[in-house]
Structure 1
Amino acid sequence: MVRRLTKSDVLAAVKGGAVFASGGGAFYEHGLEMGYAALSIGEVNLISIEELPDDATLLTQTAIGAPAGTTDWQMQGKDYIKAVQLVQEQISEKVVGLWTPQNGKSSSTNGWITAAALGLYIVDVTGDIRAHPTGEMGDIGVNSKADYITTQAAVGGKKETGKYIEIIATGTSKTTSKILRSASDQAGGFIATARHPLPVSYVKENAVIGGLSKAINLGHTIIAAEKKGVTHVINEIVKETSGEIVVRGTIVSKRMKYTNQAFDIGTVVVEDEKGHRFTLYAQNEFMAIENENGERISTYPDVQTVFRAEDAFALSTNEIKKGQEVVVFKIDKSHFPLSTGAKDRGVYSDVEKSLGIELYHSSFPKEE
């Protein structure tokens, strides 16, 4: 099935993606800007992966960097387009479609402007249903394939400050992903990328099928619910996602630090009306929630979202401020499909080291 995306789908993708963003997923306004710009230059067609031949070649398109608004970045629509063109120039296979490695505030509109400009499909899969900090978590398992040689490109940065970069890297995913993240830091902390030429057959077996339309459909539910008020919006999100409220309370602490790997790392603490405190650990996105006794309430790949209580707006780490009234929400991983990347033990160690907490065995205790 092919679905021609509309302006209402842009808003829905960003609103639904904001829930799955888990505190990251880039920037709300950037998502709207890129989505609307895409529709202004051409058609954006969302296609089911089942409609494509198994040997057709797809690329991942995304932005990488830190979402907390702590850096002087610039990324334009033409940067997304250029990144795909750079990869296409390096490979013999013709790219027919693009897919996003994650949902998020702008991640859910990843590739739309390129698809419109170059006549490509947006494929209805995601590398992870939610947003995540490292490229490896959304690369549907190629991180652990030493024999897979990828091509990745990154484009972005302000020319007037000398920060503009175009870079192409070929090699294993694990190595080249780190090169692109370093490029993101050098470009100002946020950069457009295209990567991982893969056949439809591999993507179909390892990605989250229907992951993008899930965010768009949730967004339409949110838009419809907004007419009935904040409580109805949150109730509808809970209902549609099988999620649950962790705590309603006040932000009493926020400690975030930008690193030269283009990560925002730190914690946010929420206190409820009884004085109980809950700590959210973030590396760009929220990765775990613990109560005041150190007991784990939620762990990636669960979805973890902080809504502003006054309007049910899903907050990124840069939008969280001490004293805000919030609603902390989660969706247990049992309620949505997981990609190969989200289940890969090898993609967790760097994040665990950065945060100083264990993640993988909390989520997958029966795995070795």
Structure 2
Amino acid sequence: MGRILTEKDVEAAVRGGSVYAAGGGGWADHGRMLGNAAVSIGKPELVSVDELDDADWVATAAAIGAPASTTPWEMRGVDYIKAVELLQDALGEPVAGLMVGQNGRSSTLNGWLPSAVLGTRVVDAVGDMRAHPTGDMGAIGLAGSPEPMIQTAVGGNRDVDRYIEMVIRGATGRVSPVLRTAADMSGGFIASCRNPVSAAYVRDNAALGGISLALSLGEAILAAEPSGGRAVVDAIVKAVDGTLLATGGEVTAVDIVYTAEAFDIGTVTVGRGDEALTLHVMNEYMAIVSADGRRLATFPDIITTLTPKGEPLSVGQLRPGMKVHILHVPKSVIPLSAGVRDASVYPPVEKALGLSIADYALAP
């Protein structure tokens, strides 16, 4: 049976999603806006993919852009709804459910408002348990496919005439960069609905249960809060089966540059000298390297910076002098989608970072 999402689920989704955001994943206030609007005007329903017919259409509700950017973005709840409507019009058939490309501060809730308004159900599946820089990484194995897909984008800063509506068809790997360009032109962040596939395909290729895992993590965080920050940190580590690679480490450098492709790229350094850890960033944390050059963590591992009170910090929130914990969750303990096992998604990311990612991500 499906689960009707309510007001108490909104905060749990934002809190759990913020950990899985891996330094990116949107804005918490944007997530609360989406969730509260959804539960106020309707009854968004979370269902497992098994509750859909194999032939039902499932599309991915996404937000595209650079979460740490300081660009003049504007995205409204209606933009997510319009993106779904444009995709349904182009498809010529109704969409039964919406999954999300990744968990995150707001992205865990991307499908809730269309569910409340249009009746599309929130499918308990994600393209990636954690947030990632490119749409192809959350495309559940479609990135290298030559099959034409439909993608839509809606949003933009209305005050400076940046509002965009777009419907595009083509092979996923070819059209996804166009949506990133649209995100940049709109002000840095844009709503999208894309890649309609059958529920049977989602069952075989998505990371199933990803929304429920974010909700249960958020519930654990909220339950621990009355006991203080240390209890919250402990609750997070236990819930995700992770470890802390640094405890109260000092942020000593933040070197991030926003690019025209709507990416934030660079490094964050925590600690000094032999104890320093370098976190490599492409919107999110993609790898950690020790002072002596050892790779300690690599995508699709979950890498998150937490305050000593257990609050997840995005890359854009970090400043030199801050004290942070670094949470690491290896890929072996999280559900993995076909998207993160797709070799075609890694070359652009490796080129931007100057690091090997695929060697680890594709290893058994």
TM-score (norm 2): 0.98
Indicate the residue corresponding to 1:99 in structure 2. Answer: 99
Residue equivalent to 1:203: 202
Residue in structure 1 matched with residue 10 of structure 2 by the alignment: 10
The separation in 1 between residues aligned to 2:195 and 2:362, in whole angstroms, is 27
For residue 137 of structure 1, give the secondary structure of its aligned residue in structure 2: helix
Alignment pair present for 1:117 and 2:120: no
Q: Which moved more, 1:54-63 or 1:84-93?
A: 84-93
> Are residues 1:288 and 2:287 paired?
yes
Structure 1 residue 364: Cα displacement: 3.4
Q: Is the counterpart of residue 190 in structure 1 residue 189 in structure 2?
A: yes
Q: Do the aligned partners of 2:103 and 2:130 also contact (CA within 8 Å) in 1?
A: yes
Gaps of 5+ in 2: none
Name the amino acid aligned to 1:54: D
Map of 2:348 onto structure 1: 350
User: Cα distance, 1:365 vs. partner?
Assistant: 4.3
Counterpart CA distance in 1 for 2:40 and 2:20 is 26
- Deviations along 1:240-280, one digit per CA (max 9) or x if unpaired, are 111000012100000111011110111000006x8610000
Q: Secondary structure at the match of 2:61?
A: strand
One-letter amino acid matched to 1:165: I
Counterpart-to-counterpart distance in 2, 1:328 and 1:190:
27
CA RMSD in angstroms comes to 1.1
1:271–1:220 CA distance, 2 compared to 1 (3 A): same
List alignment gaps of at least 5 residues for structure 1: none
Cα distance, 1:160 vs structure 2: 2.0
Question: Which 4+ stretches in 1 moved above 2 angstroms?
Answer: 362-366
Work out the CA distance in 2 between the residues paired with 1:330 and 1:107.
21
Secondary structure of 1:279's partner? strand
* Aligned residue pair count: 363
For 1:339, which of 331, 337, 340 is the aligned residue?
Answer: 337
Tell me the amino acid that sits aligned with residue 337 of structure 2: S
1:328 — aligned with what? Answer: 326
Q: Which residue of 2 aligns with 1:221?
A: 220
- Could you tell me whether the CA contact under 8 Å between 2:340 and 2:361 is conserved in 1? no
Q: Kindly provide the amino acid, as one letter, of the partner of residue 199 in structure 1.
A: S
Distance in 2 between residues matched to 1:159 and 1:244, nearest whole Å: 44
Per-residue CA deviation, residues 58-78 of structure 1 (Å, 9 max, x unaligned), is 110010000113100000001
Corresponding residue for 2:145? 145
Task: Name the residue aligned to 1:243.
Answer: 242
Matched with 1:43 is: 43
How far residue 286 of structure 1 moved from its aligned partner, in angstroms, is 0.4
**Structure 2 residue identity aligned to 1:154:** A
CA deviations 1:156-203 (Å, max 9, x no partner) are: 112220111001100000111011010000000100000011100101
Cα distance in 2 for residues equivalent to 1:134 and 1:69: 15
* C-alpha contact (below 8 Å) 2:274/2:291 kept by paired residues: no
The superposition leaves residues 262-307 of structure 1 with CA deviations (integer Å, 9 ceiling, x where unpaired) of 10111000006x8610000010010000000111000000000000
Query: What is residue 172 of structure 1 aligned with on the other side?
Result: 171
Shift of 1:312: 1.1
Inter-partner Cα distance in structure 2 for 1:280 and 1:150: 34
Supply the distance in 2 between the matched residues of 1:92 and 1:157 (Cα, whole angstroms): 26
- Please give the per-residue CA displacement for 1:304-336, whole angstroms capped at 9, x wherever unaligned: 000012x21100111111100000011000001
Determine helix, strand or coil for the equivalent of 1:79: helix
Offset, 1:105: 0.3
Amino acid at match of 2:321: G
1:337 counterpart SS class: coil
Q: Deviations over 1:125-171 (max 9, x none)?
A: 0010100000000000011211x211010011122201110011000
The answer (yes or no) to whether the contact 2:343–2:362 under 8 Å persists in 1 is no
C-alpha separation in 2, matches of 1:25 and 1:200: 25
1:319 matched residue in structure 2: 317
